[in-house]
Amino acid sequence: MVYESSLVEIVDLFKRAKHLIRLYGFFPKKRLGQNFTINSEILDRLISYASLTETDVVLEVGAGFGFLTQLLSSKCKKVIALEIDPQLVDFLSKQFSHLQNIELIAGDILKVSVPAFNKVVSAPPYSISSPLLFRLLKSSFDCAVLILQKEFAERLAATVGSKNYGRLTVTIHYWADVELLDCVSRNMFYPPPDVDSMILRLKPRAPPFHVYDEQTFFEIVRTLFTQRNKKVRNAVIPFLHKCKIEKKEAIELADSLIYSSKRVRELAPKDFGILTNQLLQKLKL
């Protein structure tokens, strides 16, 4: 579903955002990826997709002007709102001083310590999308409902062999299920970004297949996808060289591997697991 909205639905938050910008002399910073959501129905959809309850503790990354923060606070037990911009932090601390269930944290989500939470609802800066997901997946939580760049979101849920299928797809699949929900027009933000967006839901789970060593698995996935169009027998050679395997032995070993004649892009996530385990057995690592 492509999500557009009527002009009437946009005007209220757009006016509020413009008013706050003028009132506080605030200028959206491109380096921080500041594109504020100016459609209330989109914010309502984020909350609905997260199925919030009165017992939920929700993490919001990039609170901005607090439009989503305030809505979240009325739907859950507590909101942990992170904001990196000092000017916005000052505004938010005054704006929400009367709300006891909002904990405002000033800082970078990739660097600061965050209290326990069980859900994430956020429209984070696009520039931190990948490291943010890996940061979140190191925590324990039930689900995350996020607005991310459309192309990036499609990479997370890409089908095997498609142009968007790659290292990110396989790595995230190992840790979580990804569900693409709605496309969101760039016009739903102020200032509008250069690309459209996507609402998605991320649900962590146990890995769907077993690997003997996760670090090796991720390294093999990374190495092979640098040559995604090559056959596995050729793409795996750089990994074998890193393992100090001589050229002739490396070629023989590569030819003996399962899926050796398949192209990297044709391997499903579980195939990378099988390949990793076979390599570990053969190399006795």
Domain positions in the chain are: 2-204, 214-283
Q: Find residue 83's DSSP bridge partners.
A: 106
| Domains 2-204 and 214-283 agree in fold | no
Overall fold of domain 214-283: Helicase, Ruva Protein; domain 3 (1.10.8)
pLDDT at 2 over 50: no
CATH class of 2-204: alpha beta
Tens-digit pLDDT profile for residues 20-35: 878 777 877 777 777 8
For the segment 254-281, the average pLDDT, to the nearest whole number, is: 97
251: exposed, middle or buried (Cβ count in 10 Å: 0-12, 13-18, 19+): middle
Tens-digit pLDDT profile for residues 38-83: 899 999 999 999 999 999 999 999 999 999 999 999 999 999 999 9
pLDDT of residue 285: 60
Distance CA 78, CA 76 (A): 6
The SS3 call for residue 64 is coil
Structure letter (DSSP) for residue 26:
-
Are 153 and 134 a contacting pair, CB within 8 Å? Answer: no
Q: Find residue 201's DSSP bridge partners.
A: 145, 179
Tens-digit pLDDT profile for residues 162-180: 999 999 999 999 999 999 9
pLDDT of residue 191: 85
Distance CA 74, CA 104 (A): 16
- The model's pTM: 0.90
Among positive and negative, which fits the CA dihedral 246, 249, 252, 253? negative
Distance CA 56, CA 75 (A): 9
Nearest to 219 by CA among 272, 268, 176: 272
